[in-house]
Structure 1
Amino acid sequence: MLKIATYSFGTLILGVATAWVLTEPRHADLEMISSFTPDLARGEYIFTAGGCASCHAGDDGNAEALTGGMAFASAFGTFYAPNISSDPDQGIGTWSALNLADAMLHGTSPEGEHLYPAFPYTSYAKMDPADVVSLHGYLMTLPASTVPSKAHDVGFPFNIRRSLGGWKLLFGTSAGDWVVNDPNMTEQDLQGRYLVEALAHCGECHTPRNALGGMETAKWLGGAPNPSGNGTIPNITPGTLTWSEEDIAYYLESGFTPDFDSVGGHMAHVVDNFAKLDTSDREAVASYLKRVSPVE
């Protein structure tokens, strides 16, 4: 019996140690990040395409204030967008480019804790690290805000951050984990894929999630319940979304549908961002969406 107990205890300790290692927060490659020089014009483009201000702008709507505070209700609690201004105390003014890369590519905070996936790092993880460095450079040029970030309203057991390491093992992504991998994709399609799957993180809203909050990529962009509880996020796959590529590109520029309806809700922020991008970007998104597998 003593041998059995000792063996069981040893197995338990080994299992706990293995789980601890597997759920450890990951970090970006410092040597790789430090090899890039920030391009501020590119950083501004990433800032716009990524919709940073859409979630992190303060109540006054100042796209450069980045005070945070927007609430995101979910089945796991309510999350609040933090202050990501250049303020060194309340914002991210002391963050290095490596810190931002850790957050965006691995969901890891400068303190070495897992970030909640309300911050869409499962999409940003596919970003080019050089773009993260350029974004960091641009963010540091924006005004500082001394407004403190709001604490997330998350109860037990979801407030155990270490458990997010297990969540990442199940649902995390990394560079190259593209959902659409059609070998016949053109350069335009690939640009659209980068915008949809990474920068603009369209799948975060338009793709349904399982009971643990992971995206069901088999139903990529197939529509989902609205987290606010009001209505649904539409299916934008071919077959259901019957708009032409021209219709899609025009909608992303103007906010008007082919049926003479107008954009509403959080999508209005997305259109506002895409309207500032080049025509070729909107056309690339439209081209990519035609490559997505239809979801009934």
Structure 2
Amino acid sequence: MKRLLAGLAGLTLLGALAGWFVTAPQPLDQAERAQRPGDPARGARLFHAGGCASCHAAKGAKGEARLRLGGGAPLVTPFGSFQPPNISPGPDGIGNWSLAEFDNAMRRGISPDGRHYYPAFPYTSYARMTPGDIADLFAYLTRLPAVAGKPAAGDIPFPFNIRRGIGLWKRLYLNPAPIVALPENAPADVKAGQYLVEGPGHCGECHSPRDGLGGVDRARWLAGAADPEGKGRIPNITPGKLAWSAAEIADYLKTGFTPDYDSVGGTMVEVQANMAELSDSDRAAIAAYLKAVPTVKP
């Protein structure tokens, strides 16, 4: 009996050690990380493409207030309520972060103190960004106004409040590979649009359904999903469902008006405001990619 109990204790210890290993944060290797100083002018483009202000500025902020990134409204999901943090360049935000720490946050979902971030922060999409773009975005953010104060913590129930478990979730869903396998001879604008949509734009985080563990269903990419805020559905934007032309998609992203003269509404209002800050060529590339993805029927 003593041997049996000792064996069980040993197996339990081995299981615990294995679990601790597989859930450990996996930071970027030095060779993978952003190396060069960023260009804030180029970073502005990534800021708008990524919609940083939509989550990290105060709700309803307009104009210059959208550049004060002290933390926005909570994101309420079936897994809990997540509070966007202060990411302004002050001591309560990212003012003391290094470029390496910012890169690990963006592409690996790891905080400077080595903890997992919850995937309400869409690092599963940002993982597809290039090191150079990460550096450019960081350079832009560090030149924005510093905002004092830290938002209140989110409300995350058990067992989702066991942050270490996110390490196992990442092994299932943190994949920097492209979602759509484009042909080698795909047009340059389609490839550029893929980068913007699948990477910084993180469009699939809202427009794709999720499984029971909260991971994006890659097989139903952009096929529509329940609004995480519980306000209806976010639409299917694959070609078979979204009948607009590429030019109409690009114009909608610029002006907020649909081909039948309706106007943007719901959570897309913030997204369209960000897309309007991009260049015409960027919006055209996004539209070209959306017309090239596989059709997924509802």
Fold match (TM-score > 0.5): yes
Q: Any idea what the Cα deviations from partners look like across 1:218-252, whole Å, max 9, x if unmatched? A: 11000001112111000000111111111111111
Mapped partners of 1:85, 1:39: distance in 2: 17
Determine if the alignment matches structure 1 residue 83 to structure 2 residue 77.
no
Q: Give the superposition deviation at 1:260.
A: 1.2
**CA offset at residue 129 of structure 1?**
1.2
Rounded Cα–Cα distance in structure 2 between residues aligned with 1:40 and 1:171? 31
- Quick one: distance in 1 between partners of 2:135 and 2:30? 11
In the TM superposition, 1:146-295 aligns within 5 A as: 146-174=148-176, 177-183=177-183, 184-295=185-296
CA spacing shift, 1:59–1:216, aligned 2, 3 Å: closer
Could you tell me how far apart the structure 1 residues matched to 2:264 and 2:13 are?
55
Q: In 2, are the aligned partners of 1:73 and 1:228 still within 8 Å (CA)? A: yes
SS at match of 2:292: coil
TM-superposed deviation, 1:11: 2.8
Residue 95 of structure 1 is matched in structure 2 by 97
Map of 1:121 onto structure 2: 123
TM-score using structure 1 length: 0.95
Aligned length: 293
Query: Which residue of structure 1 lines up, in the alignment, with residue 46 of structure 2?
Result: 46
Amino acid at match of 2:25: P
Map Cα deviations across residues 136-159 of structure 1 (whole Å, 9 max, x no partner).
111111100113222011111111
Contact persistence 2:35–2:131 (CA under 8 A): no
Cα distance in structure 2, aligned partners of 1:12 and 1:194: 44
Per-residue deviation, 1:112: 0.5
For 1:104 and 1:185, the matched residues in 2 are separated by 28
Q: Secondary structure at the residue paired with 2:76?
A: strand
- 1:33–1:133: 8 Å Cα contact kept in structure 2? no
Q: TM-score, normalised by structure 2?
A: 0.94
Task: Tell me by how many angstroms 1:37 deviates.
Answer: 2.2
Q: 1:32 to 1:76 in 2, by over 3 A?
A: closer
Residue-by-residue CA offset, 1:17-71 (whole Å, 9 max, x unaligned): 1221111012123355363121111111111111111111124611110011311
Code of the residue aligned with 2:277 in structure 1: it is K
Q: 1:224 to 1:33 in 2, by over 3 A?
A: same
Structure 1: give runs of 5+ residues left out of the alignment: none
Other structure's SS at 1:293 match: coil
Q: Which moved more, 1:103-112 or 1:7-16?
A: 7-16
Q: What's the offset of the Cα at 1:80?
A: 1.3
State how far apart, in whole Å, the 1-side matches of 2:106 and 2:48 are: 16
Shift, 1:84, TM fit: 0.6
CA separation of 1:131/1:22 partners in 2, compared to 1, >3 Å: closer, same or farther?
same
SS in 1 for 2:81: strand
* Matched letter for residue 117 of structure 1: P
Conserved 8 A contact 2:34-2:134: no
Q: Distance in 1 between matches of 2:276 and 2:35?
A: 32
Q: Tell me the amino acid that sits aligned with residue 41 of structure 1.
A: A
Give the superposition deviation at 1:7. Answer: 3.6
C-alpha distance in structure 2 between counterparts of 1:45 and 1:69, whole Å? 21
Indicate the SS of the match to 2:289: helix
Opposite residue 272 of structure 1, the aligned amino acid is: A
The letter for the 1-side match of 2:287 is A
AA matched with 1:75: P
Work out the CA distance in 1 between the residues paired with 2:231 and 2:217.
21
Over 3 Å counting, the alpha-carbon distance change for 1:60 and 1:145 in structure 2 is: farther
Distance in 2, matches of 1:17 and 1:260, equals 60
Q: For 2:32 and 2:225, how far apart are their aligned partners in 1?
A: 37
Instruction: Return the alpha-carbon distance in structure 2 between the equivalents of residues 162 and 14 of structure 1.
Output: 17
Partner Cα distance (1:33, 1:136) in 2: 13
Structure 1: distance between partners of 2:115 and 2:11: 27
| 2:110 aligned with 1:68 | no
SS state of the match for residue 27, structure 1? coil
- Deviations along 1:84-126, whole A, 9 cap, x unmatched? 11111x1111011111111110000011100010000000011
| Matches of 1:60 and 1:264, distance apart in 2 | 14
* Aligned residue number for residue 25 of structure 2: 25
Q: Which runs of 5+ in 2 are unaligned?
A: none
